[in-house]
Amino acid sequence: MAVCRKVMPCWWLLLLAGVRFARAVDTFGPLVKATEGEVWPRPHSQITYDAYMLINPSNFTFSVKEEETSWLPDYVRRVSLLCQVSNKTCGILEEAVRRYSDSVYRYVPSRGGDLRKTNVGHLDTLSVLVTSSCEEYPYLGMDEEYELKINNVTAVLTSKTVWGALRGLETFSQLLYIDHNKEVRINSTAISDQPRFPHRGLLLDTSRHYMPLSVIREMLDGMEMNKMNVFHWHIVDSQSFPYQSRVFPDLRYVHGAFVVARKSSVGRCRQTLKEPVVYTELRPYDLYINKLCTFLNYLPVMVMSSLVKCLFCVCPVCNDLKFNFKLNVLLCLSEKGAYDPETHIYTHDDIKNITEYARLRGIRVMPEFDTPGHTLSWGPGQPDLLTPCYSFVTGKPDGTYGPINPSLESTYTFIEKLFQEVVALFPDSYLHLGGDEVSFVCWRTNPNVTSFMMENGISNYAGLEQYYMQRVVNITSYLNASSVVWQEVFDNGVTIPDSTVVHVWTGSQAEELSKASARLHLAQSIYRMEHSCLECSKYFSSISFPERCPERAVWVLQVTAAGHRALLSACWYLGRLESGGDWRKFYECEPTQFYGTDEQKQRVMGGEACMWGEVVDESNVVARVWPRASATAEKLWSSAGADTEDGASRRLEEHYCRMRRRGVGAQPPNGPGYCR
């Protein structure tokens, strides 16, 4: 019997698990019943009344206060919103009205025809009032607050800024739903809403697998629907360098000498262009020739081929003027670092297309150029940038390469010129510098790096990484850009400006954390003894504690205690896929769940859901992200504890169908079900 008593609890657990499994498989109808007209993310304040109105999308009109609308397309006038702007017309808002007009039209009832004659009121217009001048580009800390009031007579959206108006328009579109009579309803509602955190982002890796522009735009559409406002573009990594730089290497800088870039050529030029000629200084006409090469590089292939044969191979001017070098078409980093230099690259025009698409949706685009690690794809297009590895046996180079070489001054010249181009191309004021997962193996084997360390009094390789990152941060500051770095940079003691943001992505390296104060020592040791967080309260005052303290909290604690702002991603890695509705594990994450004062918690800017590209490509990445990242979006927008997981599951079921209706290929969040 004693044995039975010990075994029985296990059998009960198995039985309960079986019941839950049976419910997931054998229940009749949807596993989770979707809500109707509920908003995602949940607004900060919402009052919903019993009354409702009907909407006929075909008769929903649009006009701009004191502006002529005859120039608008017919479908916009037919399916539209009434937009009243207190001052001049705002281009971002006009574009949003066109976009949301189309989303309203998607609700055209399948039965067609006019609305049935009832005593229920009909809503014909939405008035949008923006009380301040129209801003052109989204930025950190922009005002996204809005109020939306809908009754049986009018619907009014009020905001101080265009960014708040965008978020309010999204909310309005989500309040619409189709009732049992196949008619479009909207409930009488009063909403007052604003985001909890200013930085609500999604990281997308386009290096491990190249993502077409159409996929990136679909991601941005999903972000707009979830009120996320930062697209973190991890555009390059070790596997490929799809960013097409116009700066490098039109002239490569190698050991103090400039070399003319070389590329495989066509026709008779193939035999004449063998090796680039090295010069110790630039001559005046070199710059003009390189500008000509740049122009030729953008011409159609057949035209360029003929011109190359003429100018570069048989043109007598080249010989008569004794230029003494062989010209060539410019070579970009992406042409040697990309998977395919023609089809798997992002040109400047591509990037401008994406940043504009994001701008119109109130989304910032923050590029990441991760160094000194994660840079193997940089090497083929930029010789001497990476560190040659040496054999422990022979003491000679073994043909492999490690991180960027921090011992060469040419490295920092290259970084400054590349970042100058990047900062000019991307409108956002923040540049993510990476700085994570740097292997020291190659640095240890390279005698030149070792000599550099001895000459500069650097005693260890973490100190060498600190030296490199310090210079890169300084370069970024010199270019009037603000830096974001992965947490290892902070951990290694790099002196970073107060404006630098530390991005927390892991909790597995707590032993290497720098200790900001004795309070941190104590908090960490107590955590490592696996004590309840509440047991720590006797050591601290005016600090709130969760029931358990995840290890990532130690990172956030130390970053904020040192006076830096922090971003959190450690609990929102979308690549960690589990069966079933695994969005719940993301919904459980609380950004301010760490030992800290209110002042420290205010330094948490928000966070990002991260979609790394090792096992996703254009065929599955959208479904892998949505609606799982929607959980992150709500945790960053809505008040803490705004909803339970069960309540959120019903709203997310509706939101998933809503995203699919509007062209975002989201996957089912909960289990068996259907979309109307």
Would you please indicate which residues are annotated as catalytic (active-site) residues?
A: 437
* Residue 285 burial (10 A CB sphere; 0-12, 13-18, 19+): exposed
DSSP 478-501: HTT-EEEEEHHHHHTT----TTPE
- Report d(CA 18, CA 15) in Å as an integer: 5
H or E segment at 389? strand 386-390
Give the helix, strand, coil percentages of the chain, each rounded to 5.
Answer: 40, 15, 45
Tally DSSP H helices, then E strands, for the chain: 23, 22
Bridge partners for 158 per DSSP:
129, 147
* Residue 321 burial (10 A CB sphere; 0-12, 13-18, 19+): exposed
Contacts of 350 (CB under 8 A, 6+ apart): 213
146 contacts 77 by C-beta, under 8 angstroms: no
The beta strands (E) that lie in 391-450 are given as 397-404, 430-434
Q: How many CB atoms lie within 10 A of CB 614?
A: 12
- Token pair 């657990």 is found at 13
Q: How large is the C-alpha radius of gyration of the chain?
A: 29
303 contacts 341 by C-beta, under 8 angstroms: no
Structure tokens at 89: 């017309």
- Cα of first residue to Cα of last residue in the chain, in angstroms, is 55
Helices (H), 27-125: 74-78, 91-105
- Report d(CA 274, CA 290) in Å as an integer: 18
Per DSSP, 317 falls in state H
